[in-house]
Chains A and B, each alone.
Chain A
Amino acid sequence: MDKSTLKYAFNRTLPVLFGYIFLGFACGLLLYNAGYNFIWVFFISLFVYAGSGEMLLASLLAARASFGTIAALTLLLNSRHMFYGLSFIERFKKAGKFYPYMIFSLTDETYSMLCATRTPKHLSDGKVITLIAVLDHLYWLLGCIMGALMGQILSFNFKGVDFAMTALFVVIFVEQWKSFKTHIPVYIGIICSVISILIFGANNFILPSLISTVGLLMLFRNAVDNAKQTKSEAIEICH
């Protein structure tokens, strides 16, 4: 591995370094508070490797959720990843024997980092994207293990630190709210959740809520598509 490739990849991943150390730290703390020491946290972060997915896993483990709930929630929370790969079907082949690893490690951050990376001509794109993926994974592991160790060492009162997961979702929510032309999907999600909580209770609501959300989104497909168009037309007229 030549130095210039490593240097280029490292510079590219600096924003992820700070983000992952911080988020990983919070995630490691959550897992530690759920009863998992740094050895557990190392393996969880190595194999599960998904920022929000792993935070969710911490709360599911703490609640001793059923395997079915864990599978359904993980699949649904990560369902957005299904669309990330579409942009890299050809490019990942350049990674050679790391092709499966590239698919495995395609997190939100690595995805956006790779989208924004146009490898200079004198470097190998296959090597650069592989290094970016590996470095991001290392930052995440480092942050998670630091969080778990700090939880163990510090006698600081960490009560309430689990709000970091809520805050992460709120941040994603704000960003999606701004970029979306129609908010019908959000309203459908909220209505389905509230009704499901009233019917099934706070600890069993998520599956019925998500199933009815998908159903309603299919049912109102025309309305959602039209709302998107009307808004974009309106914006075009304004311009």
Chain B
Amino acid sequence: MSLNIYSIIAIAIAAICTFATRVVPFALFGGRKEVPVVITYLGKVLPPAIIATLIIYCIRNVDFLTYSHGIAEILAIATTAILHIIKKNTLISIGGGTIIYMFLVQYIF
């Protein structure tokens, strides 16, 4: 499969799946039917578990056992989290964490 065809199919799948998640409540509960309890339960507890999984996904290829032991990743994640706890501003947290990370991987490690 050529890269262009792969990309077009991949993007179409992502677009359809994104729309699918948004259309579900309108398709299922548009007629004011009751939302099943198990769905509301999963809707509440699934997001934090998924976000934790995704953070691990982002650092899945970091090798903590050999040099540089993921120090850049740990420092940048800590910076992002601390900035967000103190400043509560998404742009500052993401911008600050990313700049620290870019500096660390380009100049230190």
Q: Which residues of A contact B23 (CB under 8 A)?
A: 85, 103
Identify the closest chain B residue to A85 (Cβ).
Answer: B25
B96 CB to closest chain A CB, in angstroms?
A: 8
Q: Which residues of A contact B106 (CB under 8 A)?
A: 157, 159-160
Number of residues from B at the complex interface, CB < 8 A? 67
Number of residues from A at the complex interface, CB < 8 A? 89
A159 CB to closest chain B CB, in angstroms?
A: 5
* Known contacts A43-B11, A190-B52, A193-B56; A71 and B17 CB within 8 A of each other: yes
- Judge if B36 is at the interface, Cβ distance under 8 Å: no
Whether B50 and A76, one on each chain, are in contact in the complex, defined by CB atoms closer than 8 angstroms, is yes
B99 CB to closest chain A CB, in angstroms?
A: 9
Q: Which residues of A contact B58 (CB under 8 A)?
A: 59, 165-166, 169
Whether A171 and B56, one on each chain, are in contact in the complex, defined by CB atoms closer than 8 angstroms, is no
Count of chain A to chain B residue pairs whose CB atoms are closer than 8 Å in the complex: 232
Query: Among the interface residues B51, B91, B102, which one has the most CB atoms of the partner chain A within 10 A?
Result: B51
Given contacts A82-B43, A89-B32, 9 further A-B contacts (CB under 8 A): A19-B91, A60-B14, A78-B22, A79-B46, A81-B22, A89-B26, A160-B103, A163-B98, A180-B48
19 residue pairs bridging A and B, Cβ less than 8 Å apart: A48-B14, A48-B15, A50-B18, A56-B54, A57-B11, A75-B17, A78-B22, A79-B47, A80-B43, A163-B102, A166-B73, A167-B101, A173-B51, A176-B48, A188-B49, A197-B60, A203-B60, A205-B57, A218-B42
Which residues of A are in contact with B by a Cβ distance under 8 Å? 18-19, 22-23, 26, 35-36, 40, 43-44, 47-50, 53-54, 56-57, 59-61, 64-65, 67, 70-71, 74-86, 89, 92, 103-104, 106, 157-161, 163-177, 180, 183-186, 188-190, 192-194, 197, 202-203, 205-206, 209-210, 213-214, 217-218, 221, 224-225
